[in-house]
Amino acid sequence: MRTLSAERALLEAHLPGFDGWLAELGIDGAEDPEGDVIDAFRRAGGGNLFVPRELGGTGLGCRDGVRLQRAVGTRAPALAVATTMHHYKIAWLAAALGAHAGDVLREVAEKRHLVASCGAEGQVGRSLFTPGIRVAAADGGLTVSGSKRPCSLTRSMGLLTLTATAPDDSAPESRLLMLVIPADAPGIRREPFWRNRVLRATQTDAVLLDEVFVPDSMIIPIGDPALSPGRFTSNLLWFQLLITASYLGIATGQVERLYTAQRGTPGDRVAALAPLETVCAALEALAREVDEGRCDDDLLGRSLLVRHTAQRAIAEATDRALELAGGMPFVTGSQGVDALAASRGLAFHPPSEISAREPLDTWLGGGGLTLK
């Protein structure tokens, strides 16, 4: 389909042969929770796409990231969603922490690690990075205990990153830290958590930590949200843009199948695709501003408006796609219904539209943007 040509060309340029492999695998194969699509992505170097070139990665920017995630989402919904959790954290580490995260990013590139993210990404301020983790001082580092439910990439992660407030006896209470932990560190275990039949291939389960030791060399100081708000705005911006692109890709893949099967009239197919294309254009415009170095509440507010508009565009497009696909596919298989359900997952990533309405209204009226 013409509308995906640039996105798939970008994917082919950076991961040669991978898009073709996904197409041959098919949606059922890509969404098999026992399959190896995530590990195949890792082996192909997909985890290095946002690592800066000088540290051994590809150095993609935000606009290219938006296009790439949309391309992946059309072929492999779970892969797009799961890898967003890696990509946004890598991009944020490179953009916001720079030299402080250089050793970690270099290791990610050299070992082709995938990074699982343990954090409450939907809240700005102190609560943004307090996912129920208990931290205590230890000789030569810290120990951490707690749980993350849900956490994607639980089987394929090479590193687990989490953010927490430093303990009182080691630093001021307001000082936040990024902790980087090998996935096989003593005290880490995984438990089943995901029960929905859709997006099972994201490897989303529970990660539990019991007195896990983190040496000083794997602790990255972040600072105080009140003193460096741009760092936290950057984190949320990257997440919103990449996760929205992934779900737009899932929806676009459903409409593409209408074109492949020539279901409905030309007007039907154009009407199904048009809202998705419109939102994608807005998303790319925001991503270009990120690439140009902009990072502020106004850009974050606009990104949330586009994301929430995307949720409605996705619903409109996928409802139409399911209807146009016809009754027999609905009766004889669950692929269409599963894809529709998967596309709705964007609504459940933080911050939800409901929780953001009042803060966005205040911001649109001339006040500040404070998400809770």
Distances 361 to 234, 367, 370 between C-alpha atoms, Å = 21, 9, 11
Q: Which of 2.40.110.10, 1.20.140.10, 2.102.10.10, 3.40.50.2000 is the CATH number of 115-223?
A: 2.40.110.10
Distances 218 to 11, 167, 208, 232, 372 between C-alpha atoms, Å = 32, 16, 19, 20, 29
Residue type, 162: L
- CA–CA gap between residue 310 and residue 108 (Å, rounded): 32
**Burial (0-12, 13-18, 19+ Cβ within 10 Å), 266:** exposed
Secondary structure percentages of the chain, helix, strand, coil, to 5: 60, 15, 25
Distances 291 to 65, 72, 90, 249 between C-alpha atoms, Å = 11, 21, 15, 21
- For residues 219 and 162, the answer to whether their CB atoms sit within 8 Å is no
Q: Which CATH superfamily is domain 229-364 in?
A: Butyryl-CoA Dehydrogenase, subunit A, domain 3 (1.20.140.10)
pLDDT in tens, the chain (372 residues): 788 999 999 999 999 999 999 999 999 999 999 999 999 999 999 999 999 999 999 999 999 999 999 999 999 999 999 999 999 999 988 887 776 788 889 999 999 999 998 754 433 443 545 556 788 989 999 999 988 888 999 999 999 998 888 887 655 445 778 889 999 999 999 999 999 989 999 999 999 999 999 998 888 887 766 655 667 788 899 999 999 999 999 999 999 999 999 999 999 999 999 999 999 999 999 999 999 999 999 999 999 999 999 999 999 999 999 999 887 677 766 777 888 999 999 999 989 899 999 999 999 999 999 886
* CA diameter of the chain: 69
Q: Tell which CATH architecture fits domain 2-111.
A: Orthogonal Bundle (1.10)
- CA–CA gap between residue 15 and residue 46 (Å, rounded): 7
CA pseudo-torsion sign 131, 132, 137, 138:
negative
pTM: 0.93
Domain spans of the chain? Answer: 2-111, 115-223, 229-364
Omega of the bond leading into 186 within 30 degrees of 0 (cis): no
- CA–CA gap between residue 146 and residue 281 (Å, rounded): 41
